[in-house]
Structure 1
Amino acid sequence: MAQRTPDRHLLDALSRAYMARARLFHNGLRASRIDLLFAEIDAIDGGPLDWTDAALGVSPSALQRVRQTGAAPHQVFAHPDVIAQRPHLIAYYRNVVAISKKGIAQMLWSTNGYEAKKRTTMDRDLAVTLCRTLNQILSGVIDETPGYDVTLSRQAVLAEIGTELQGAWANAVGQGAAREVERMFAGYLDEHEWGRDDGAHTYTLRNGWRIVFSNEPDVAFFDAAGVKQIAIEIKGSLDTAGAQTRYGEAKKSFAKQLQENPRCHTVYLASCFTDAVIRQIRSDGQVREWFNLTSILYDEEERRRFLQRIFHIVSTPA
């Protein structure tokens, strides 16, 4: 079998993307501080905790199975006496049940403030409601899982964190790519006091320019006279098969911008480049610059270089 010639641009794009993904997962796990949650849970004296109240949502059979494994019930089930005083431990029990932050907010309420330790106590009635909801789900799982062991629940915690991180990754490089780019620009404007947020995805700069996040283009920079000087198209998908199609869509947008202002600086931000796409970009001559989107979003040096380049154009008289 003949060896396929590697597409170096595609290989570079995918390597950058998966390096960014790995960085996101490592940083996300570190930020979760799950090892500290495990240690805190294990250090709790569970002896005084009463598990006989049916309002806790723990089935007798599930409780017995947990005890038979040699684990303490509080290592698996949430107790209101614990949650009321240490509501940040919701992060542990929520993940044991494999419920996302969005999921718990849909079922009950947002627990973000508690998990982040911004709210350090919880009303006992609320704690009972939360514990019952989580424990009922987990009891059903334990009752129907042959050979259940507490280590399985610990593994579920890591799996759920991984699922949330994967969701964040998919959002950043997919439908949420434009939103991530807007956050990046907004952060830069705030850090360097470049301008203000006018709302409705519009920002006014100190030199009179405006940045508008919309469609065709995804990002437009207008000078003080209202002339569009920079047009940015964003394509976050990593699907290699659609790389040329996505570039074709961006190309149509750039054609409109250049028709309005032939001096408009067109920028293509994409997560997936192929040799064929690069050849098209160079042949068409409608893209002034192109950058790897995932590198910009997840590599500080690449992000700094990109932003400095864009704002050099903004601050340079035409």
Structure 2
Amino acid sequence: MSSVAGDLTAQQPERPPRRGRLTGLRDAHPGALISAAGLAVVVAGLACTLVWALLGADTTYWPVWVWIGGGAPVAAAAAVRVSWRIPAGPARWASAHAGVGAVAATLLACIWLLTGGGFWLAWVLFGMGLALSVHALLAFADRLPPRPREKVLSARVDELVRTRRAALDEQAIALARIERDLHDGAQARLVALSLALGRAEQRLGEDHDAAPLVRDARREATAAIAELRDLARGIAPPMLQERGLVAAVEALAHRSSVAVDVRGALPDRLPPSTERAAYFVVAESLTNVAKHAPDARATVSLFASDGALWVEVADDGPGGADPAGTGLLGLRSRVEALDGRLTVTDLDPTGTRVRAELPCAS
């Protein structure tokens, strides 16, 4: 009996949370709140004007104050609301400052007219303009002190970016170590085996029954060496590790079946993960040129600026590269893993350009 009661209790739907009187107002859309406030100001202003007229007053002094007092905050809120539709950045701050400043200046001008004028308004407008200008400069320069939660989140994001970059660099170093181990270990043993099989084949001669078997074994060893060499080069090209990105790209250009012109120079070695990503962008792009435009000429440009490495491979082929191709999708994933960007565009009149931007700040 108790188990049945427990099951019935578990099947009962949860009660919705109690909604206070201000819950609906808190959850309302900001635009709807501003519209409701504007409507309330209009109703209050019309009511005040009507009552003032029914009382037989010969002046509209106090109704005007009602209109101004209610309309100013609604207008300021609307100005900020419109500004926040603009994407985050200096344009949003400029729009917000201009809107709030215009509302405040209009309010002060109305007060100045209603109170009989005077020189004091100029000083108020000057102070308001100075305050808004200082705030705008701080906002544009990103110098406003962040709130505690924003400060914690910003520090966390910085830490994640730093640790991820360190992990990627450690991965690149580990891959380079694997390449060296393959080169100095398994590949060297296979080369020695191939040489030994070659000597055995020569001693046996063509008349021996085992000669064909030794010959096939030597061919298999040679094929295994080639596959292992290609695998090691794909993991971490030796030229890239020993001499840097520019030398490795020049080696790629020399081996390519199309004419390639390499431009640019890098003053220092870059982080290992950045160099690997840049190398494979060039390698895949030149492979695509050789595959789809074998008669074209390619240009590879490398340069670093403002904490970023720019890699560009352009050709004068027929164009029409598919950004959704398997090779380019793999490059985009490799570049975006470093918070970089990869774009593929057709050139005018013909040709294709692959451009990668890779963060390289240490």
Higher relative contact order by CA 8 Å / sep ≥ 6: 1 or 2?
1
Structure possessing the higher radius of gyration over alpha carbons: 2
The reply to whether TM is greater than 0.5 is no
The TM tier, using the shorter chain, reads: under 0.3
